[in-house]
Amino acid sequence: MIEQRRLVKLGRSTLVVSLPAEWVKKHKLKAGDMLVLQIADRYIKLIPAKKDSKEIKAIIKVNKDVRGLYRAIISAYIAGADIIEVNVNNEKLVLEAMKQIKYAVSHLIGIEIVDQDIDRFILQTFINVDEQNIDSLIKKMASLIRIMLRYVLQGTDVKNYIEDLENEVDKLYRLALRRLNLEGEGEAPMSSLLTSLENASDIILPLVENIANTKDVYDILNLAIEMLDFISKYEIGKGNIIEINDKTDAIEHIEKELSSRQIEEKLKYRSLMLLHHIKNALLSLLNIEITNMIRNEQKIEL
Indicate the range of 49-53, 154-158, 282-286 predicted with least confidence: 49-53
Query: For residues 182 and 108, which has the higher predicted lDDT (pLDDT)?
Result: 108
Same domain, 231 and 260: yes
Residue 78, CB-side half-sphere exposure with 13 Å CA sphere:
17
Q: What is the pLDDT of residues 232-287, one digit of tens each?
A: 999 988 888 999 999 999 999 999 999 888 888 998 999 999 999 999 999 999 99
User: Residue 21: exposed, middle, or buried by beta-carbon count in 10 A (0-12, 13-18, 19+)?
Assistant: exposed
| Same domain, residue pair 223 and 119 | no
Both 287 and 223 in a single domain?
Answer: yes
Q: How far apart are the C-alpha atoms of 180 and 202, rounded to whole Å? A: 22
Are 18 and 148 contained in the same domain?
no
Q: Does position 2 have pLDDT exceeding 70, yes or no?
A: no
Residue 51 reports pLDDT greater than 70: no
- Mean pLDDT across 108-131: 88
Is residue 249 included in any domain, yes or no? yes
Domain CATH number, residue 79: 3.30.110.20
108 versus 51: the higher-pLDDT residue is 108
29 belongs to a structural domain = yes
What is the pLDDT at residue 22?
79
Rg over CA atoms, the chain: 23
Question: Amino acid letter at 1?
Answer: M
One domain for residues 16 and 72: no
- Give CA–CA dist 79/238, Å, rounded: 30
Together in a domain, 283 and 139? yes
> 77-92: string of b/e by CB count within 10 Å (b at 16+)?
bbebbbebbbebeeee
Tell me what pLDDT residue 95 has: 92
**Which of the four pLDDT bands, split at 50, 70 and 90, describes residue 40?**
low
> Quick one: 168 and 41 in the same domain?
no
pLDDT value of position 61: 94
Query: Are residues 137 and 150 located together in one domain of the fold?
Result: yes
Contact present, 234 and 243 (Cβ < 8 Å): no
Residue span of the structural domain in which 203 resides: 130-295
Nearest residue to 230 via CA among 216, 240, 218: 240
Same-domain check for residues 20 and 164: no
- The overall average pLDDT reported for the chain is 87
300 lies in some domain: no
Higher pLDDT, 9 or 102: 102
Q: Give whole-number Cα distances, 229 to 102, 232, 237, 286, in Å.
A: 33, 5, 17, 16
Instruction: Using the predicted structure, report yes or no on whether residue 143 has a pLDDT greater than 70.
Output: yes
pLDDT digits (tens, 9 = 90+) for 69-79: 999 999 999 99
Domain count for the chain: 3
pLDDT tier at 43 (50, 70, 90 boundaries)? low
| Backbone phi, psi, residue 249, to 5° | -60, -40
Q: Is residue 266 part of a domain?
A: yes
